[in-house]
A and B are shown apart, each in its own frame.
Chain A
Amino acid sequence: MTLAKPRMGRVIFDGLFANNPVFVQVLGICSTLAVTNVFENTLVMCIGLVFTTGLSNFSVSLLRSLIPGRIRMIVETLVIASWVIVFDIIIKATLPEISKALGAYVGLIITNCIVMGRAEAFALANKPLISMADGIANGLGYTWVLLAVAFVRELLGSGSIFGVRVLGEWWTNWNIMVMAPGGFFVLAILIWIVRGRMLRSKEGVR
């Protein structure tokens, strides 16, 4: 484990920034982008995603020597689906209103490409603990991007954050931000800013 320590830091940094699943790999935006018009719902969805990637990476890694190569995809899917069911039951019991608002989207974490992608690319080849760290780091890397999108959308679209109105009466809500196109535009602009920075800093190094 002493050897794994420095790598652990690397893995976490990659998931959060250097290899961020949204900016660099553009994966997994399907299931969560739809709920980013309300900050609170996004937060719950993202917690679910971190929970699922962390634990499914951990379990897939534990099982990795037992899974036959040919059916590994379906085994991974089943592991992921089981954890999503656990999460779904937890939020149904503790946050029934948000659970209702999220509706089908909690179930769609199963087909979020990040979860599957990390299980396939990392957990199958690495030890359980570091796999779990990788899963959590990627989940968090995804979370901060989506929360940023949700922040902009809720602020401009409803003039509020966490359901609390922060902009005064003078503010006219941008309805487009609450509707579907807003999500596409905000994410695109965010990707533009971050990728532009990345390109520039790469050139600076050279």
Chain B
Amino acid sequence: MNEISVLSIFLAAVFTNNILLTNYLGMCSFLAVSSEVKASAGLGIAVTFVMAVTSVLNWLVEQYILVPLDLVYMRYIVYIVVIAAFVQLVEMIIERVSDSLYAALGIFLPLITVNCAILGATLFIAIREYTLPQAAAYGAGGGLGWAMAIVAMAGIRQKMARSRVPRGLSGAGISLVITGIMALAFIGFSGMIRVN
């Protein structure tokens, strides 16, 4: 399982094993934010960046701190602390460096700490015992796949604002239906690469 090439892991994370559409991760912020394309793109970029970096950070922490010290059972706490600390750090840097970037991404950063997709990517990497390049590819690809799904969703929802939806289904219900149809479409990719 560890001989899958880095490129196929990346592509699998974007298309065939999309973290949102096949693993349902990151649904909360997905449903809350995806009503506007611009905001969705902002959140998507932030998630991609944080996921790519924290996947690598957590991989390093796992290999060089948790395993040697025999603390693997503590991994959940350690992972979440690494993610929270990193998000906090990024927020502070962005705030100092660029006002416009902070205005665009700043509000999304606190949301990201509790975004299940970020922790999920790290946990999948740990359980599947990826190597460092594989972990980096999975983190970047997973984030990109998530971003793509949320932007596509926002586009659809903007169009849909003008259509009439049964009242009980409007809001979350119809969003789930659309996501389901998107997931269905993404199954079409699944013949391309076989990765678990």
| Residues of A contacting B55 in the complex (Cβ-Cβ under 8 angstroms) | none
Task: Report Cα–Cα, A86/B177, bound state, in Å.
Answer: 36
Task: Report Cα–Cα, A81/B187, bound state, in Å.
Answer: 33
- Is B160's CB within 8 Å of the partner chain A? no
Contact of B80 among A28, A77, A113 (CB under 8 A): A77
Q: Which residue of A lies closest to B77 (CB)?
A: A81
- Is B33's CB within 8 Å of the partner chain A? no
Q: How many A-B residue pairs have CB under 8 A?
A: 131
Give the residues from 114 to 171 in chain B that come closer than 8 angstroms, CB to CB, to chain A.
114-120, 123-124, 126-127, 166-169, 171
- Is B172's CB within 8 Å of the partner chain A? yes
Counting chain A CB atoms within 10 Å of each CB, which of B27, B79, B110 scores highest?
B27
- Is A159's CB within 8 Å of the partner chain B? no
Task: Report Cα–Cα, A179/B24, bound state, in Å.
Answer: 11
| Residues of B contacting A85 in the complex (Cβ-Cβ under 8 angstroms) | 73-74, 76-77
Q: Please give the distance in Å from A45's CB to the nearest CB on chain B.
A: 12
- Is B179's CB within 8 Å of the partner chain A? yes
Cβ B180 vs Cβ A104 within 8 A: no
Task: Report Cα–Cα, A184/B76, bound state, in Å.
Answer: 27
| Residues of A contacting B107 in the complex (Cβ-Cβ under 8 angstroms) | none
Contact of A192 among B28, B115, B169, B179 (CB under 8 A): B169
- Is B181's CB within 8 Å of the partner chain A? yes
Cβ B180 vs Cβ A27 within 8 A: no
Contact of B177 among A26, A103, A185 (CB under 8 A): A185
Cβ A188 vs Cβ B76 within 8 A: no
8 A-B residue pairs with Cβ-Cβ distance under 8 Å, sorted by A, are A30-B26, A73-B110, A108-B116, A179-B187, A181-B187, A182-B180, A191-B172, A192-B168
Spell out A's residues near B (CB within 8 Å). Answer: 26-31, 33-34, 73-74, 77-78, 81-82, 84-85, 88-89, 103-104, 107-108, 110-113, 116, 176, 179-185, 187-188, 191-199
Spell out B's residues near A (CB within 8 Å). Answer: 21-28, 31, 73-77, 79-81, 84, 110, 113-120, 123-124, 126-127, 166-169, 171-174, 176-177, 179-181, 183-184, 187
The 7 closest A-B pairs by CB, nearest first: A196-B168, A184-B180, A104-B123, A188-B176, A111-B116, A195-B168, A26-B172
